[in-house]
Amino acid sequence: MYAKPWDCEEYAVTQRDGRPYILCEYTHAMGNSCGSTDEYTRLWDKYPCLQGGFVWDWVDQSILTKDENGKEYLAYGGDFGENPHDGHFCGNGLLFGDRSVTPKLCEIKKLYQNVDFNAIDASRGIIEIKNKFMFTNLNEYEL
């Protein structure tokens, strides 16, 4: 769990028996994290045996509650006076507890997209388009 990108690449280069490599978890979306995710996705594109991985966690486990003035907020450990508690450790999702989008989700969405664009010569309008779909031709889309 939490193999570093270079460990994944070493597996891809040295493993010859055809087994896929799937990270049960490779990034923890707590706070403003998910750094280095691009390093993993570049390797997944480069080595077919590297199949991807799972993000912890999809959504924050905060609880919508109201303060003494009736204003709603997303509460977490300690907000109810309990002790001990894990503090904000439940705030580890790609979505906030109210299911609104975090910047981390936007980054993951970009990295996971199945069509890549590379500006070869932007001033002349020349771009490279790469189809990463396995079974869909890009003629299914309007560009």
- pLDDT for 131 beyond 90: yes
Q: Looking at the chain, how many residues does it have?
A: 143
For residue 43, which of 130, 111, 138, 135 has the smallest C-alpha distance? 111
- Give the global pTM: 0.81
Domain residues of the chain, as ranges?
5-62+90-112, 115-143
**Of the given ranges (36-45, 60-69, 83-92), which has the lowest mean pLDDT?**
83-92
pLDDT tens digits, residue range 10-37?
999 998 888 899 999 888 888 777 888 9
Nearest to 80 by CA among 67, 92, 97: 67
In contact, 76 and 65? CB cutoff 8 Å = no
